[in-house]
Chains A and B, each alone.
Chain A
């Protein structure tokens, strides 16, 4: 369950930012987990819920954007959408695809409150 490690990483990022920016809690957190990023967003949400009580994330609304996977086809030179690695190019049917989008896993922004 690597989503638990990732949730820990997210909290760590937030705590670091809180030391720098001096806020007391997060009310709204927006994450990006691209569809090719290797993360199950339901599992990530579950892990964050388990972690949140008593932390800066307690009670925060969490949005997870899931931009679709995009890949460049080495055979037909088109950029196509794919649901997962190993999918065929919807344009030419080939499999020589290089993912170009939907691979990122990041904290985009958050709304915070001071004490």
Chain B
């Protein structure tokens, strides 16, 4: 059996020298691989048993193969080839750590939100304004912030100036935060400071592309789009808006100076994500902040109940043993 693709017609053992593909077949998706690349790679790996070889290649007799692959076939003691089926999610390891983060957040009653946007859309400004507004409206509600940037601690410094605890994560050349970074940051942040009902804001690296793919364990992704960026962004970067629960349309104080069709932007966002909620606000003038704080309260409430339940389960489990 051909172990890579599972078809039943290959006489494997004798034909394993080149990855067990000593029969011509085209049924497992080589179509996406440019032919020239296949050839050049095979030059390193050995004769190209997978290429459209003369039709009568027979793995057992090996006649046509003998010429093409003589050296490797005839060398005694050549390595054994075998197949391993993995079916493994490439982001699986990140996903496992994100799930652990999520469970920890729930157990602590922490609602974590992952703020994603292009650089300069106003994430840090909005976080500072939100922290100030919450202090007036819900002073019993602690907030902590994890700041992701490639370099500098400017943004964490801006958050700390509001009095909220903040931790800067510099990713160096990395263009997104991942779940292990957040796990470590939360280790350092949460000792004693995060109560039974608290908020954790995670400001991702400014990048509208890949933060969409890395689950951090957040309750929701909050996509910020400022009106100066143009209304077409949800269609140009669909993965981000598809992954977000809410889109905050920021800098609406600038609308009078721009040609930005708000309704068209919202329609585009709904095309890639029919369920996305949209809020319009200005982090500078405070317009629209009340609706945003309402959204926060709504999103955080079920999380704190779930957190309480998880904590209770922990207690039950630990007393049972």
Contacts and interface: CB of A to CB of B under 8 A. Distances in A.
A59 B41 contact: yes
A109 B238 contact: no
A21 B212 CA distance: 33
A108 B239 contact: no
Contacts of B75: none
A86 B268 contact: yes
A17 interface: yes
Contacts of A59: 41, 44-45
B180 to A, nearest CB: 12
B38 A115 contact: no
Contacts of B29: 30, 63, 65
Contacts, number: 143
Contact of B86 (A5, A60, A108): A108
A107 B86 contact: yes
A84 interface: yes
A114 B77 CA distance: 11
A85 B90 contact: no
- Interface band, chain A: 35 or more
B45 A38 contact: no
A63 B274 CA distance: 34
Interface in B273-289: 273-274
Interface stretch (B13-21, B130-138, B256-264, B290-298): B13-21
A114 B45 contact: no
Contacts of B266: none
B301 interface: no
Contacts of A9: 90-91, 93-94
A105 interface: yes
Interface string A22-39: 011001101100000010
Interface string B206-227: 0001101110000000000000
A77 B82 CA distance: 44
A38 B212 contact: yes
Given A64-B32, A86-B268, A110 B83 contact: yes
Given A85-B239, A107-B88, A28 B28 contact: no
Given A9-B90, A62-B33, 4 more contacts: A17-B84, A108-B86, A111-B19, A112-B83
Which 8 residue pairs across A and B have the least CB separation, nearest first? A2-B210, A85-B238, A59-B44, A65-B29, A111-B19, A113-B79, A95-B271, A27-B19
7 contacts: A24-B79, A27-B46, A28-B50, A109-B84, A112-B81, A112-B84, A113-B82
Interface of A: 1-2, 5-6, 9-10, 12-13, 17, 21, 23-24, 27-28, 30-31, 38, 41, 58-66, 74, 84-86, 95-99, 104-115
